[in-house]
Amino acid sequence: MSGLPVLDHATLDRLRELNEPGEPDIVIEVLTLFLEDAPARVAAVAAAQAAGDARGLERAAHGLKGSAGNIGALRLQALCHRIEDLGRLEEAGDPMVVLSLHEEFETLRQEVTRLL
């Protein structure tokens, strides 16, 4: 994952192409919504891991993976894919996964905040 960018600016450029003249910047709107929504998704992953709920871990990671992909958060998306696989394999017990998720989300949050 370290070879992936925190935030893929090509994805943001593709989103920006959807802007309509006179309308708010769609990238700003999407990134703002992500920052509002993602902490609850990260918390859901952490809660599922803490409860040993592999199926819940898989579902929560899947939802966060989709949100991350929408904004081009490639590293977070890849990490969520790995967590989703752990849930699928019924391996929900590793707390290091959640620590990695929190760290990656914080890195992404800082990057997105700089863009806003």
Q: How confident is the model at residue 1 (pLDDT cuts 50, 70, 90)?
A: low
Domain total in the chain: 1
pLDDT, tens digit, 9 for 90 and up, residues 37-81: 999 999 999 999 999 999 999 999 999 999 999 999 999 999 999
Tell me, yes or no, whether 79 lies in a domain. Answer: yes
Tell me, yes or no, whether 3 lies in a domain. Answer: no
- pTM for this model (two decimals): 0.93
pLDDT recorded at residue 68: 98
Q: Based on the number of CB atoms within 10 Å of its own CB, is 97 exposed (0-12), middle (13-18) or buried (19 or more)?
A: buried
Of 23-27, 40-44, 69-73, 87-91, least confident by mean pLDDT is 87-91
- CATH value at residue 89: 1.20.120.160
